[in-house]
Amino acid sequence: WVNRQIITYFVRLTFSDIFRKKPDDLGMYLLYDVAHNIAKFERYTIEG
């Protein structure tokens, strides 16, 4: 899990550099796989 988060972090930074936008403005989200053939989006409310 951590590898995906680190890779996503650096991909966002790279795209941010290329497109000259803040990482949060790029709309890039990490998609977690549940099993080898299932994927789903999940939303979490953190601190509020």
Residue 48 lies in a domain: no
44 part of a folded domain: no
Residue at 34 is within a domain = yes
Contacts of residue 43, defined as CB under 8 A and 6 or more positions apart, other chains included, come to: none
Query: Domains in the chain: how many in total?
Result: 1
Domain assignment of residue 14, given as a range:
2-39
Residue 22 lies in a domain: yes
Could you tell me if residue 10 is inside a domain?
Answer: yes
d(CA 19, CA 14): 9
Residue 12, in any domain of the structure = yes
The whole-number pLDDT of residue 30 equals 75
Asked if residue 45 belongs to a domain, the reply is no
Q: Record the pTM.
A: 0.56
46 in a structural domain: no
Q: What is the pLDDT of residues 7-37, one digit of tens each?
A: 888 999 999 999 999 988 988 877 765 666 6
pLDDT at 8: 84
Residue, of 36 and 45, whose pLDDT is higher = 45
